[in-house]
Amino acid sequence: MEEPSRSPANTPPQASGPTRPVLIAGGGFGGLYTALALASQRHHPPILLVEPQQRFLFLPLLYELLSEELRGWEVAPRYDTLLASRGVAWLQDRISRIDASAGCVYTEQGRQLAYSRLVIATGSRGTSYGIPGVEELAIPFRSLADVEHLQELVQHLRSHPRPLQRLALVGAGPSGVELACKLADLLQGSTVIELIEQGTDLLPQARAFNREQARSALLRRDIRLRTHTRVLALEPGRLELSLTAGGEGSSRETLPVYGVIWTAGVTVAPPPIEPAASLDDRGRLLCESTLELKQTPGVFAIGDVAHVADADGAPLAATAQVAFQQADCLAENLLRSLEGESLQPFRWKDLGEMISLGIGEASLTGLGLTLAGPAAYRIRQLTYLSRLPGLPHQLRVAAGWLSDLGRPLNVPRCGSP
């Protein structure tokens, strides 16, 4: 791997006046954890986090919020509470464009903000791939509003059961599988659940153990997995599908559905940058191993929006685990960059893989453990407890969990009729 260094040709613009902060665009896993890591340094620069939402969302625990195994304030703490007395200023706004040669950003609310160093951490969002009807009719699963929408749907389906009422989830990646299992437990047999996947199998990137655990979790819940099946269009009350089996021609099918949940695919769209930054074929910002943008000194990217190559040259996965690990390296490099020192390359360490498989169940592989069932569920929760943002929030959540000890795990509280 190349040893990164500073040279006159890649020196950031001299924008580091005393009042110019390190500006972080986006307060998700990459942005918030970078801000907290930087603020924990003894002599840190002023830090400004620009994030439009009021609450940070710990996305890997969104399923537990849906099932009410966890509470809203635990999974989605407010930024003003998280950042109180932490040395990070938070501005509730959205970056609309970046002028890297002038060292400033423009926001949706009409502000112009100068920075000494900029971190782009604007994440990813779902995509409909332009399939007719998906944008308008399918339910996504990425936000608090989506969780509330699904909770209302579960309540309705449980309290007005009709023969053969059906929900379809599209995409058998981790989100689709985890959500299908939680929904099946919440719906308690009142609704047929179909998991639709255009590829050849569920969880194509997962470890074999987790994939097999997921397969049997789906079977135990009577969730039908349809592979080799592509969504052509969504219309009110029905899905148009194209089925291909073993590479032989395709056939079409119309599937009556009460609702469709879309977890298939993500896309990225960083704010426009002048001069234009280098992007990969999926729109991600091409970064050096130091997380600094190629050809845009002084501007860094992290998380889903960043294309950072692993040791084999392939882009690192878009996961919270990657963004979480990058944050410490980036905080260190921001300080080094401000001091004019050489930057450190980011080194990814695979800590394993955990997947939630219904209420009170999970499967995990990594760090010498291969485990499924309620014990894996507890370990997953404890692991995430240690990753929640900031010690004060971790302690508040831990106190809540201790007071919950003894509450049975397998009783869904959501939508009880």
Ligand X SMILES: Cc1cc2nc3c(=O)[nH]c(=O)nc-3n(C[C@H](O)[C@H](O)[C@H](O)COP(=O)(O)OP(=O)(O)OC[C@H]3O[C@@H](n4cnc5c(N)ncnc54)[C@H](O)[C@@H]3O)c2cc1C
Sign, CA dihedral 139-144-150-152, equals: negative
Residue 202: CB atoms within 10 Å? 21
Residue 173 lies near ligand X (rule: CB under 6 A): no
State which of positions 237-266 bind ligand X (CB under 6 A): none
Out of 155, 188, 319, 344, the only residue in the binding site for ligand X (CB under 6 A) is 319
Out of 31, 77, 171, 389, the only residue in the binding site for ligand X (CB under 6 A) is 31
Binding-site string for ligand X from residue 116 to residue 145, where x marks contact by CB under 6 A and - marks none: -----xxx-----------------xx---
Which segment (4-12, 39-47, 57-65, 364-372) binds ligand X by CB under 6 A?
57-65
Q: Based on CB atoms, which residue is closest to ligand X, 288 or 353? A: 353
Which segment (22-30, 69-77, 150-158, 358-366) binds ligand X by CB under 6 A?
22-30
Out of 170, 323, 329, 343, the only residue in the binding site for ligand X (CB under 6 A) is 323
If you search the block for the tokens 């907290």, which residue do you land on?
36
Q: Based on CB atoms, which residue is closest to ligand X, 241 or 388? A: 388
Out of 39, 48, 62, 150, the only residue in the binding site for ligand X (CB under 6 A) is 62
Q: Which residues of 320-346 are buried (b: 16+ CB within 10 A; e: fewer)?
A: bbbbbbbbbbbbbbbbebbeeeebeeb
Q: Which two tokens stand for residue 200?
A: 């050849």
State which of positions 71-110 bind ligand X (CB under 6 A): 94-95
Binding-site string for ligand X from residue 268 to residue 307, where x marks contact by CB under 6 A and - marks none: ---x-------------------------------xxx--
Burial of 141 (0-12, 13-18, 19+ CB in 10 A): buried
Question: Rounded to the nearest 5 degrees, what angle is found at the Cα of 127, between the Cα atoms of 124 and 133?
Answer: 155
If you search the block for the tokens 């910002």, which residue do you land on?
285
Of 96, 72, 76, the residue nearest 32 (C-alpha): 76
| Minimum CB–partner distance for residue 368 and ligand X (Å) | 19
Residue 377 lies near ligand X (rule: CB under 6 A): no
Residue 326 lies near ligand X (rule: CB under 6 A): no
Q: Which two tokens stand for residue 227?
A: 């592979």
| Minimum CB–partner distance for residue 305 and ligand X (Å) | 6
CA distances in angstroms from 126 to 29, 134, 237, 355, listed in the order given: 17, 11, 22, 20
Under 8 Å CB-to-CB from 171, ≥6 apart: which residues? 196, 197, 262, 263, 264, 265
Residue 53 lies near ligand X (rule: CB under 6 A): yes
Q: What strand order describes the sheet that includes 299-301?
A: 89-91, 47-50, 22-25, 117-120, 299-301
| Minimum CB–partner distance for residue 108 and ligand X (Å) | 8
Out of 28, 133, 390, 412, the only residue in the binding site for ligand X (CB under 6 A) is 28
Which segment (37-45, 51-59, 227-235, 282-290) binds ligand X by CB under 6 A?
51-59
Residue 171 lies near ligand X (rule: CB under 6 A): no
Which segment (28-36, 164-172, 185-193, 232-240) binds ligand X by CB under 6 A?
28-36
Q: Are 291 and 308 spatial neighbours (Cβ–Cβ below 8 Å)?
A: yes
Measured distance CA(252)–CA(273) in Å, rounded? 43
Q: Based on CB atoms, which residue is closest to ligand X, 56 or 241? A: 56
Residue 192 lies near ligand X (rule: CB under 6 A): no
Phi then psi dihedrals of residue 197, to 5 deg = -140, 130
Out of 202, 316, 318, 397, the only residue in the binding site for ligand X (CB under 6 A) is 318
Which segment (71-79, 229-237, 318-326, 392-400) binds ligand X by CB under 6 A?
318-326
Measured distance CA(46)–CA(21) in Å, rounded? 5
Measured distance CA(276)–CA(294) in Å, rounded? 11
Out of 21, 60, 173, 360, the only residue in the binding site for ligand X (CB under 6 A) is 60
- Per DSSP, which regions of 100-180 are E strands? 104-107, 112-114, 117-120, 125-126, 166-170
Out of 48, 91, 320, 334, the only residue in the binding site for ligand X (CB under 6 A) is 320
Give me the residues that bind ligand X (CB under 6 A), please: 25-31, 50-53, 59-60, 62, 94-95, 121-123, 141-142, 175, 271, 303-305, 318-321, 323
